Structure 1
Amino acid sequence: MAVQIVSPGRVDVIEKAMPRIQNEDEVLIKVQMVGVCGSDMHIYHGQSPVATYPRIIGHEMVGEVVEIGPNVNQLVPGDKVVMEPIQWCGACYACQSGRRNVCVHLQVYGVHRDGAYQEYMVLPERIVHKVDRRLAWHEAVLVEPFTIGAQANWRGEVRAGDTVFILGAGPIGLCALQVAKMTGATCIVSDLSDAKLAYACSLGADHLLNPGKVDVEAEIQEITDGLGPNVTIDAACTVHTFEQAVRVTSVAGRVVVLGLTAAPSQIAQLDITKKELTVVGSRLQTDKFPTVIEWFNTGRIKADTFATHRFPIEEIERAFAFIESHPNEIRKVLLEIGCSMRKGSVDGHGIPLTR
């Protein structure tokens, strides 16, 4: 069974042949859970500038190794694993510079290649990472989103003592928040949802701003004694938030942009040149899986309450509809694929199942 976006707006639950190991360095994985990402929704609506159709989507995956090829050395059947959802050429300028996440020939699972919304996957060992078996499925599935938060902090060169402004308390903003707090930064978070801001507070956010209720830029000036944040991470990814990020960031500061929208923003050169800002994009991740997995394995990442709702894979359309109709009630929605649970139940970690 698999979920395929046939064309924008059309999703089918299909049956497909069991995948088989074809190369000696591959592993067969039984997928257990997959996270629903905003980029999956964009592909469903035809709003992704990079996706191709038809496509089995999904890139936030946790599963169990069931078979290995003869040249696989680091994994064995029974290992709990997550997927680094990219393939790269290794020869282009980006790859030679250690930036394979922006490889000229980049292929992303769930975008350019079929992804994890399916019961079984065959993947090369180099993009399969083992996690501690003690991690619950609904925690381990969050490793990939946290690598995105870690990348955003790395691109922004977040350091202890910095003031970091995060626009958007969605999943990636919350991941970036936890990483910044571990680094020793003071964090300001803005979002239109008081519920999401309350959760950000529980994760350590120092200042909470709702743009619908306060003048965000004035509040930031007061919080930072007129300097502005040293690093601004735009996890809301709108034309307006990008413009605001450039305006509010301090002299010699860094602006991190995660959005993929093609809509242009109006930003004066003066705002960048006068303050000598560094404005950088942040896409996917660069070698962040080992570090993030260590954070998860040692309990430094608080992920047990991150996922709020689950749906069985065959109810994918209902899951999409729920996400769009209850934006303030969800943080992360998961699809159960290999995991089976009773209808209407609550699992041992207290996560309600929407069935």
Structure 2
Amino acid sequence: MKSIVIQQPGKLVIETRPMLQPAPGEVRIKVSYAGICGSDVHIYHGHNPFAKYPRVIGHEFFGHIDSVGEGVDPSRIGERVVIDPVVSCGHCYPCSVGRPNVCSELQVIGVHRDGGFSDYAVAPAQNAYQVPDSIPDQLASMVEPFTIAANITAFLKPTPTDTALIFGAGPMGLTVIQVLKGVYGVQKVIVADRIEERLQMARENGADWAINNQHKSVTEQLAAENIRPTLVIDAACHPSILQEAINVASPAARVGMMGFSGEACSITQQSITSKEISLFSSRLNSHRFPQVIEWMSEGKISPEKLVTHCMPGEDVEAAMTLFEKDQRACCKVLLKF
């Protein structure tokens, strides 16, 4: 089988590897489609502190179960499935309170263990979720990105009367827009970004107001309209954003953080407590796959609006360069295996 391997930072190769065999409790998946995420690019460049090399990357993938390990029902062979990359221990404190995504022994498929940029992949059977026929193969690989939006919004508990502000119109920001509009019915969703083409994508995904903050700050533009968001989400993930998010937020607002930067971030306690701001952080997802599959089946979200490119798996280097460098025309890139 062919696998896309980051041997070390900056060195990507396509290797011929022996066929994988599922261990007890695992399934083997014949991969059909896999999506490129920013974290894949970070592993490629050596910027992900959790990755171990060499590593088969890829945590957004879809395929068919073609083999099962001991203890797994053989009738599962042939199932169309998407894979939750969160592998948890099941017995630590986070797991006991329904937060396996921050398990004390967390392993992420495609980061800590080999992932889905391969002809075949293995995963725990409980992490393989069946996809209904109503979801096309290509779009099924988009379930995982939407679980990220499902996770942060579950903390924030949006309501139709909220005024929501999202920093960043990249793939994360766009999935959040769709979930806020299509699932929670939020009437006013504002998105800020510095790339006009991304702002147009935001409008196409349901944003009511797209703010270009390249030359004029979000703070200034909101103040001119006398708008105080009640819900703010940082999907741009730059350390400077958090303080601005707190500053522009309404008293009693909720602020969600999706970033993973290791850089220091300067904020004041007064700006938070004076308005009794609630801060929420979110990593990966905690059992959100069934929820997103249902949303997708019911047409509440439209993953096809995010997919701009689909390329053969052997063109992975060109695909990753496109994803990283062409933020004006490219949103989500899928690899076909």
> Which residue matches 1:350?
none
> Which residue matches 1:9?
10
Q: Secondary structure at the match of 1:275?
A: coil
> How far has the Cα of 1:190 moved from its partner?
0.8
> How far has the Cα of 1:21 moved from its partner?
2.3
Q: Secondary structure at the match of 2:76?
A: coil
CA contact (8 A) 1:60 1:83 kept: yes
- Whether 1:192 and 2:194 are equivalent positions in the alignment is yes
- The answer for unaligned runs of 5 or more in structure 1 is 338-355
Q: Secondary structure at the match of 2:240?
A: helix
> Which residue matches 1:141?
141
CA contact (8 A) 1:168 1:191 kept: yes
CA contact (8 A) 1:84 1:128 kept: yes
> How far has the Cα of 1:68 moved from its partner?
2.9
CA contact (8 A) 2:30 2:119 kept: yes
CA contact (8 A) 1:138 1:304 kept: no
Which of the residues 201, 205, 210 maps onto 2:207?
205
Distance 1:220-1:73 versus aligned 2 partners, 3 A rule: farther
> How far has the Cα of 1:72 moved from its partner?
2.9
Q: Distance in 2 between matches of 1:275 and 1:48?
A: 35
CA contact (8 A) 1:79 1:133 kept: no
- Whether 1:160 and 2:156 are equivalent positions in the alignment is no
Instruction: Give 1:3's aligned amino acid.
Output: I
> How far has the Cα of 1:73 moved from its partner?
4.4
Q: Distance in 1 between matches of 2:134 and 2:324?
A: 33
- Whether 1:334 and 2:329 are equivalent positions in the alignment is no
Q: Distance in 1 between matches of 2:336 and 2:323?
A: 16
Counting only pairs closer than 5 Å after superposition, residues 237-316 of structure 1 correspond to structure 2 as: 237-316=237-316
Comparing 310-319 with 267-276, greater Cα deviation is found at: 310-319
Counting only pairs closer than 5 Å after superposition, residues 17-96 of structure 1 correspond to structure 2 as: 17-23=18-24, 25-69=25-69, 71-73=71-73, 76-96=76-96
- Whether 1:220 and 2:258 are equivalent positions in the alignment is no
CA contact (8 A) 1:75 1:130 kept: no
Q: Count residues with an aligned counterpart.
A: 334
Q: Distance in 2 between matches of 1:106 and 1:292?
A: 22
> How far has the Cα of 1:70 moved from its partner?
5.6
CA contact (8 A) 2:308 2:332 kept: yes
RMSD over aligned Cα atoms: 1.6
> How far has the Cα of 1:221 moved from its partner?
2.9
Q: Distance in 2 between matches of 1:75 and 1:190?
A: 48
> Which residue matches 1:130?
130
Measured against aligned partners, the alpha-carbon deviations of 1:127-162 in whole angstroms (never above 9, x if no partner) come to 000111232222111000000011111122222211
CA contact (8 A) 2:232 2:249 kept: yes
> How far has the Cα of 1:222 moved from its partner?
4.1
TM-score, length basis structure 1: 0.90
> Which residue matches 1:352?
none
Measured against aligned partners, the alpha-carbon deviations of 1:24-60 in whole angstroms (never above 9, x if no partner) come to x322210001100001111111111222211111100
CA contact (8 A) 2:198 2:327 kept: no
Instruction: Give 1:287's aligned amino acid.
Output: H
TM-score, length basis structure 2: 0.95
Measured against aligned partners, the alpha-carbon deviations of 1:298-352 in whole angstroms (never above 9, x if no partner) come to 2221122321112222221111222233121111011111xxxxxxxxxxxxxxx
- The answer for unaligned runs of 5 or more in structure 2 is none
Q: Distance in 2 between matches of 1:127 and 1:324?
A: 29
Instruction: Give 2:185's aligned amino acid.
Output: G
Instruction: Give 2:125's aligned amino acid.
Output: E
Instruction: Give 1:135's aligned amino acid.
Output: I
Q: Distance in 2 between matches of 1:134 and 1:74?
A: 24
Q: Distance in 2 between matches of 1:20 and 1:94?
A: 30
CA contact (8 A) 1:21 1:28 kept: yes
Q: Distance in 2 between matches of 1:232 and 1:309?
A: 30
